[in-house]
Amino acid sequence: MSVSAALLRDPRCCLGLGFGSGLLRPAPGTWGTLASLPFAVGLLQLPTPVAWLVVAIAALVGIHLCGHTAEAAGVHDHPAIVWDEFVGMWLTLLFVPFSWSSLVVGFALFRLFDIVKPWPIRWCDERVAGGLGIMLDDLLAGAFAGVVLWGIVSTGVLPAI
């Protein structure tokens, strides 16, 4: 089922669709994650506790945004809904100090965990409904990716460039 660009007129749907990035094909989740990166760079300039607070608020608000957008689209967790990718990607990057290399590797790790969905990510994706379900699997993917990224950075494998 297609989602109309007309949904972008609703501010909540506009956010849910990642400012329209979720309407891009193919791979709307990847486009949404890419669209989140400029915001991530700004977010990572904030003091760490403030950045964590912003991500927590974005996740809580995202439960409503994603649920509302799914209802407006008439499809639970339509691929065009990418606010969850925005927040999951931001969460990934909070685990390490900012560097361009951590941004690139974090992006790859987040997409990997979001696509492959190892347990318990897949379990949540299949069993938790509504806006919470849409957000939860991406938050878990972001946390998994963030922990792996932290491991890579803390062992010195990833240069801080």
Would you list the domain boundaries of the chain? 5-154
Is this structure's pTM higher than 0.85?
A: yes
Classify 24 in phi/psi space as left (phi over 0), alpha (psi -120 to 50) or beta: beta
pLDDT in tens, the chain (161 residues): 457 778 999 999 999 999 999 999 999 999 999 999 999 999 999 999 999 999 999 999 999 999 999 999 998 889 999 999 999 999 999 999 999 999 999 999 999 999 999 999 999 989 999 999 999 999 999 999 999 999 999 998 887 67
Q: List alpha helices for 4-120, DSSP H.
A: 11-16, 28-43, 48-73, 83-93, 100-116
Q: What torsion, rounded to 10 degrees, do the Cα atoms 105, 83, 114, 117 define?
A: 150
Q: Is 117 left (phi over 0), alpha (psi -120 to 50) or beta?
A: left
